[in-house]
Amino acid sequence: MKNTKKVLCGGLAFSDKEDMEKLNRYAKEGWIFKEMKGLYYILYKEEPQDLIFDYDIATVSEEELDDYNQIFTNAGWTPLKHSYDYHFFSAKSGTPTIHTDKNLLDQKYKPIAKWSLGVFLVSSGITIAGFRLGWLNPSHMPYTILLLLSGGCAGGSGVGFLGCHFRSKGKRLSFKNFTSHN
């Protein structure tokens, strides 16, 4: 039997609450979330536990990381491996949430939304220019590859921008029925 399992992240800007609840259900089955790699939560097989999970978005230098983690440890949370500026934590069920003020977490999505918008605009510009210049042609293979990559970046960053933009406004975008809600 495998000792690890990969679970696809629903997108923290879109479904963080649902993802954290899903990780809690997995922990009760003995699959414990320990780290995030790319778009996947990595779960390890252990004894079943009633754990809750939460995260924070913060740019923390390696020198400040111990002090940063100590704040959460003092509140009953166990730091997990961080992924870029996303810091994940686990705690026993019943521990107060990390963010008692959800608006604070929502505001942390503003810079991510701005960055995503910039990537979207640049990659969209390259994509549009590429189509206008006829790059989608087998005889221009390097340009065709650039066109396809920029189109993919435009799509991905556009979705990322929408999720982060709505989140920074205190709303969440749901793809289940493509609605926004608080």
Residue 181 has pLDDT above 70, yes or no: no
Residue 108 has pLDDT above 70, yes or no: yes
Q: From 100, 134, 152, give the residue that closes a domain.
A: 100
Task: Report CA dihedral (25, 176, 15, 165) to the nearest 10 degrees.
Answer: 180
Q: What is residue 176's predicted lDDT score, i.e. its pLDDT?
A: 55
Q: For residues 78 and 21, state if they share a domain.
A: yes
Q: From 77, 100, 123, give the residue that closes a domain.
A: 100
Q: For residues 84 and 115, state if they share a domain.
A: no
Dump pLDDT digits (tens) for 27-80: 999 999 999 998 899 999 999 999 999 999 999 999 999 999 999 999 999 999
Dump pLDDT digits (tens) for 161-173: 988 888 888 887 6
Structure tokens at 108: 């942390």
Q: For residues 73 and 141, state if they share a domain.
A: no
Q: For residues 55 and 90, state if they share a domain.
A: yes
What distance in Å separates the CA atoms of residue 18 and residue 57, rounded to the nearest whole number? 17
Q: For residues 15 and 53, state if they share a domain.
A: yes
The H helix count followed by the E strand count for the chain is: 5, 8
Dump pLDDT digits (tens) for 128-153: 998 888 888 778 788 888 888 999 99
Task: Report CA dihedral (9, 7, 33, 75) to the nearest 10 degrees.
Answer: 20
Overall number of domains in the chain: 2
Q: Would you call 174 helix, strand, or coil by DSSP? A: strand
Q: What is residue 63's predicted lDDT score, i.e. its pLDDT?
A: 96
Q: For residues 87 and 30, state if they share a domain.
A: yes
Q: For residues 24 and 92, state if they share a domain.
A: yes
Q: Please give the residue range of the domain that contains residue 153.
A: 106-181
pLDDT (mean) for 115-126: 92
Q: From 68, 100, 132, give the residue that closes a domain.
A: 100
Higher per-residue pLDDT: 92 or 131: 92
Contact 51, 91 (CB under 8 A): yes
Q: What is residue 178's predicted lDDT score, i.e. its pLDDT?
A: 43
Q: For residues 81 and 115, state if they share a domain.
A: no
Q: For residues 59 and 118, state if they share a domain.
A: no
Residue 179 has pLDDT above 50, yes or no: no
Residue 4 has pLDDT above 70, yes or no: yes
Q: For residues 11 and 95, state if they share a domain.
A: yes
Q: For residues 128 and 78, state if they share a domain.
A: no
Residue 84 has pLDDT above 60, yes or no: yes
Q: What predicted TM-score, i.e. pTM, was given to this entire model? A: 0.74
